[in-house]
Amino acid sequence: MTDIQVTHSDHGLGVVTPAGRLTMVSARALTEAVASLVDQGTSRVVVDLGETTFIDSSGLGALVAGLKRCRQAGGDLRIARPTAQVTAVLAMTNLDKVLTPRASVDEAF
Amino acid sequence: MATAREVVLEARPEDIDVLQDVVADLWESEPGVADTERMRFEMALVEIFTNVVEHSERAQHGPPRRRVAVTLTVDDDRVQAVLVDDGRPAAVDLSSVTMPDADATSGRGLALAISAVDDVSYERDGDRNRWTVTCRRGS
């Protein structure tokens, strides 16, 4: 079971941390977590992928949907701490150009 | 010697987790399969199973769902998955699959599967759909 935790950093960022597998099973919960942050006025969001053991195309779709949502609200979505599998999938789908991985949540913005 | 796992799943999202647990169990029995090969194989397998789930849900939301028989085999030279389901024929031409643009929120599944492993094939076999995912070892 994938657990998606949402917190706020000291700098006013939303931090979303999906732990476990990010597939069709959990992608909608990630999309909703980001949308909910934006609706509440937080449009600068970091998705911390340090505990994401596996991502598939549904998970990528949720990240892209979240990115669009944040940008429409004048903010941005960035990803931090991707695991080897996440990094490989981003490269294979050419999404590493729009979702540039950052080394840590603090360095994301 | 070949190691195999067989599991019959329902074409529903929750069973993606069940499938990935079976894959994890397979790797426990086959520690010699390299990390990159495990990763490539699991990526393609999850995409193909998800594709079956999506088409099943589109055709009929809720039970009775398609049943998907999955056989995973590890040989010295390859890791292979065969997925057989009893759903309607999949209208798919794997030779025309391309990776969507960066702003797409869907449609990457088959392209990702094809680029992850050495071969993905689909055939209609009587009243069944048969998908085969092959990842060569040491390539």
| Res. B117: pLDDT tops 90 | yes
Chain B positions touching chain A (beta carbons under 8 Å): 13-14, 16-17, 20, 35, 39, 42-43, 46-47, 50, 53-54, 99, 102-109, 111-112, 115-116
Q: Which residues of A sit within 8 Å Cβ distance of B? A: 1, 21, 23-25, 54, 56-58, 60-62, 64-65, 68, 84-85, 88-89, 92-95, 97-98
Q: How many domains does chain B have?
A: 1
Q: For a pLDDT cut of 90, what percent of chain A falls above it?
A: 94
Query: Which residue of chain B comes nearest to A62, CA vs CA?
Result: B105
Q: Divide the 109 residues of chain A into consecutive groups of 10 and give the mean pLDDT of each group.
A: 88 95 96 97 97 97 98 98 96 94 94
Q: Dump pLDDT digits (tens) for A46-75.
A: 999 999 999 999 999 999 999 999 999 999
* CATH number of residue B109's parent domain: 3.30.565.10
Enclosing domain of residue B11: 3-136
Mean pLDDT of B5-10: 96
Domains and CATH numbers, chain A: 3-102 (3.30.750.24)
Instruction: Indicate the pTM of the whole model.
Output: 0.95
pLDDT, residue B33, reads 96
Report the distance separating Cα B52 and Cα B49, nearest Å: 5
Does residue B139 register a pLDDT over 80?
A: no
Res B25: pLDDT: 96
Long-range contacts, stretch B10-13, CB < 8 angstroms, 24+ apart: B10/B65, B10/B66, B10/B67, B10/B68, B11/B52, B11/B53, B11/B56, B11/B57, B11/B65, B11/B66, B11/B67, B11/B68, B11/B85, B11/B87, B12/B53, B12/B56, B12/B57, B12/B65, B13/A23, B13/A24, B13/A25, B13/B53
Distance from CA of A7 to the nearest CA of B (A): 24
Contacts of A19 in chain B (CB under 8 A): none
Minimum distance, in Å, between the CA of residue B76 and any CA atom of chain A: 23
